[in-house]
Chains A and B, each alone.
Chain A
Amino acid sequence: MKHEAIIDEPMVEVRDLHVSFGKGAGAVRAVNGVSFALRKGEVLGVLGESGSGKSVMLRTLLGLLPAHARTEGTVTVAGQPVLSLPPDALRRLRGSTVAMIFQEPMTAFDPVFTIGRQIAETIMRHDRVGRDAAMKRAQELLELVAIPSAKGRLANYPHEMSGGMRQRAMIALALACRPSVLLADEPTTALDVTVQIQILLLLRRLQAELDMAVVFVTHDIGVAVEISDRIGVMYAGRFVEEAPIEALVDAHAHPYTRGLLASTVHGQRKGERLETIPGAPPNLAALPPGCAFAPRCRHADDRCRAEAPEPRVVGPSHVARCHHLSAGR
């Protein structure tokens, strides 16, 4: 059936993406060959430490990089080649087909306009509707994200809301034009834990109801497991392991993934001392020639230090970049 073919077409497809800032020897190589495909209704969690290139990768999907960034590879979002799109077409794509949720809802809202006005403004930017209609839809959106007394909240300024409420409003703003792809840049990091889980459940619910493809960037493995169907573990600008959620938790293959999981707090390991990964993430301006994780890896040998590992299939839709795949278990 023709219909099915459209559904099977990936909403987001990234192939061998490289992003660097600056030129020559001092260039900061933030993303070094990321590839993935995301179908409609699927959630990809991107897990990584600070400086692993995850936020840069996310911004590339929207063409939001600063002018001096240099990109290679292809990024296709909803059938559009983002990296080679003219500015006007890119603007039409942003906000309507692809929307983004930011980490800090306080600074991601304009402090001098009311929430309602900002949501309505985004609606009017893409759809030909009047202010009253846009405001009405803004109210429906606030109801959708379960903000109580939505009508009154429309007239609130961002500072008049609590952190969780603001993040809900941020989600409402992102959903304003019914996007088919949602990019989330650590949307729960700035919230306290009880609010975090509410926001995650809300996102999960909306994602399923609106059948969105979601790329969810986080450094919190607990959050990633909660929200994702699949997880890509990012290290020094690469996916070192990509797997469905169960496979990643139960049968992770990469030593870095093992280290991340071992350093996570959870209830069953009460009283045990947490493991840490020794060392620090590599300098993105001076990456080691071999495996980027080799300097911190206890299994590293000469081969690891000389030659960067290619992705290898570990299981069904489970790939990892490591020379010692068994060592990670």
Chain B
Amino acid sequence: MNALHDVATEFPPQADLVRPREVESPGYWRQVRNRLSRDPVTIGAGTVLALIVLSALLAPLLAPYDPYQGSIMTRMKPVGFEGHPLGTDETGRDMLSRLLYGGRVSLLAGVAPVAAALAIGGTLGVVAGFFGGLVNTLIMRVTDVFYAFPSILLAIAICGLLGAGLVNTLISLTLVFIPPIIRISESVTTQVRAYDFVEAARASGARPMQLIRHQVLANVLGPILVYATSLVSLSIILAAGLSFLGLGVTPPTAEWGLMLNALRQAIYIDPVLAALPGAMIFVTSMCFNLISDGLRGAMDVRIRT
């Protein structure tokens, strides 16, 4: 260190030549937060989503009625009916209560499979991309086989094999989302691996695991996370679709897809009522998509603020 010290004192930095403004850069996550706070669309979507999540969590407190208790006397009452602000369904159950409770299952079906697929698929993809060669071929060709099926078809096939039920729905959706996440993570990893800074790190003596942790993961996590967020909405819709087909959760569970299915036949009697669960699915997935869009912009440090 001594030699360095000597040189440093002998050649003082030329700071006094030009007086630079103090360049204090905020931390990464604060920078991301700053950018998000200046993006009204993402904030709006985030607020709406937070409300939906909160209302699902607090459903037992908020729901005015038992979501499973109907009355034959009050079937198919329209929105705004006395005592039932959002009307009642085909067996006289309170729509508002059922929508609140339904959010719990639907949100779980949206987030859990994507999170699981992110952990499994992300790991496989990064490994395939980083090590290349035979490892890559093995992982990617198997992925291709699964990728060849349309996602809804694959979900139906796996669900049909496992049987109906919430857990089986989550498993089948996880399996459906693993291949596309492998694909994305493999391609961004391959791209990052070719950059000079990976070689530079290797030239300064980094081990493969250090390379993956610092150089690769940090550069790859953003894009993969953004892509995964966009899958959440798809997952909600697929889960709803599986329930709709009778492969997902089973009646009388309150779930948006299932409710949509049941009210489908009532569409000529009261279209507004029938559209309510669909609207919830739409709004929730839209929120996730908008947030993923906002994150994409905010998490890229290379875009100047």
Contacts and interface: CB of A to CB of B under 8 A. Distances in A.
Contacts of A137: 1
Interface stretch (B115-123, B206-214, B251-259): B206-214
Contacts of A156: 23, 25
Interface string B13-50: 11101101011110010000000000000000000000
Contact of A121 (B15, B22, B214): B214
Contacts of B3: 178, 209-210
Contacts of A110: 197, 201, 214-215, 218-219
Contacts, number: 124
Contacts of B201: 110
Contacts of B196: 102, 104, 107-108
B195 interface: yes
Nearest to A208: B7
Which of the four size classes fits the interface of chain B?
A: 35 or more
Interface in A196-226: 205-206, 209-210
Interface string A171-191: 001111010000000000000
Nearest to A173: B204
Contacts of A206: 7
A107 B201 CA distance: 12
Contacts of A160: 23, 25
Q: Which one of B3, B11, B219 has the greatest number of beta carbons of chain A within 10 Å? A: B11
B218 A209 contact: no
B304 interface: yes
Interface in A94-123: 94-96, 99-100, 102, 104, 107-114, 121-122
A143 B13 contact: yes
A156 B31 CA distance: 12
Given A95-B203, A110-B215, A144 B25 contact: no
Contacts of B141: none
A64 B203 contact: yes
B82 interface: no
A186 to B, nearest CB: 12
A49 interface: no
Given A95-B205, A140-B5, A157 B13 contact: no
Nearest to A107: B196
A122 B203 CA distance: 10
Which of the four size classes fits the interface of chain A?
A: 35 or more
Q: Which one of B14, B15, B18, B25 has the greatest number of beta carbons of chain A within 10 Å? A: B25
A50 B49 CA distance: 56
Nearest to A139: B8
B7 A96 contact: no
Contacts of B222: 112
Given A64-B202, A111-B219, A149 B22 contact: yes
A94 B215 contact: no
Contacts of A209: 3, 6-7, 10
Nearest to A121: B214
B304 A159 contact: yes
B29 to A, nearest CB: 12
A94 to B, nearest CB: 4
B199 interface: yes
Enumerate the 7 nearest inter-chain pairs by beta-carbon distance, A residue then B residue, closest first: A95-B204, A95-B205, A94-B205, A107-B196, A155-B25, A148-B15, A152-B23
Interface of A: 62, 64, 91-96, 99-100, 102, 104, 107-114, 121-122, 125-126, 137, 140-141, 143-144, 146-150, 152-153, 155-157, 159-160, 173-176, 178, 205-206, 209-210
22 contacts: A91-B207, A96-B205, A99-B203, A100-B203, A107-B196, A108-B197, A108-B199, A109-B197, A110-B219, A114-B25, A121-B214, A122-B204, A140-B8, A141-B4, A147-B13, A149-B23, A150-B13, A152-B24, A159-B301, A160-B23, A173-B200, A206-B7
Given A111-B301, A210-B7, 10 more contacts: A94-B205, A95-B203, A108-B197, A108-B199, A110-B197, A110-B218, A113-B214, A144-B4, A149-B15, A178-B3
